Chain A
Amino acid sequence: GAGVSQTPSNKVTEKGKYVELRCDPISGHTALYWYRQSLGQGPEFLIYFQGTGAADDSGLPNDRFFAVRPEGSVSTLKIQRTERGDSAVYLCASSPTRDSKGTQYFGPGTRLLVL
């Protein structure tokens, strides 16, 4: 079966531009998470969806970041007025439900470079 997929795999943009990153979770998984991984660090939580609603968005760094999951499947992370500090790998993960064991399945990530 297909795993979590993310598009694009790489994105280069200029400072100030708007970008959208897409995540397609494993079919049937209701929980979806976004993380950001900067060079040399571990992934950091951004936002968590249970179904269509954002259950926890406490990790979003500021109001330039926004994510949606309108039909409870595919999610899009949107970054407005990008800054060079936004450069990182953006990881998406999904799990069958809010798995009490914490196990999440990750996609390959989108590498964002803001010039």
Chain B
Amino acid sequence: DQQVKQNSPSLSVQEGRISILNCDYTNSMFDYFLWYKKYPAEGPTFLISISSIKDKNEDGRFTVFLNKSAKHLSLHIVPSQPGDSAVYFCAASRAGNMLTFGGGTRLMVKP
């Protein structure tokens, strides 16, 4: 039973355009949601997070939106750059315990 799902295994966008990565979850007890970025042969790197009491968090080119009623969150990258090409994982946490990850979305930003 997957509690965190990323339904798009891959996404391709043009440099300079917006990238939107989506994530759905089922467990309403999650209180923090995070996005991690992963390059090949490296561990996941923390990107941005959002508390369940907020609906938006912004950090430079990266914005995460949370829709609690729909149990849905998304990561927006504007403008997208070729260096953003990586696998992005959505993750959820409850009370600072272990992270529950989605399956990942491979983002390809074309120059």
When C-beta atoms are compared, the residue in chain B nearest to A9 turns out to be: B41
Q: Are B97 and A108 in contact (CB under 8 A)?
A: no
Instruction: Judge if A62 is at the interface, Cβ distance under 8 Å.
Output: no
When C-beta atoms are compared, the residue in chain B nearest to A44 turns out to be: B101
Number of A-B contacts (CB under 8 A): 69
User: Contact residue range for chain B?
Assistant: 20 to 34
Would you mind naming 7 contact pairs between A and B with Cβ atoms under 8 Å apart? Answer: A33-B98, A45-B98, A48-B97, A56-B97, A102-B32, A103-B49, A106-B44
Contacts A45-B98, A102-B34 supplied; 16 other A-B pairs, CB < 8 Å: A33-B99, A42-B6, A43-B89, A56-B98, A98-B97, A99-B96, A100-B32, A100-B95, A101-B93, A102-B49, A103-B34, A103-B49, A104-B46, A105-B46, A107-B43, A108-B43
Hey, which bits of chain A sit against chain B, CB under 8 A?
4, 33, 35, 40-45, 48, 56, 59, 91, 93, 98-109
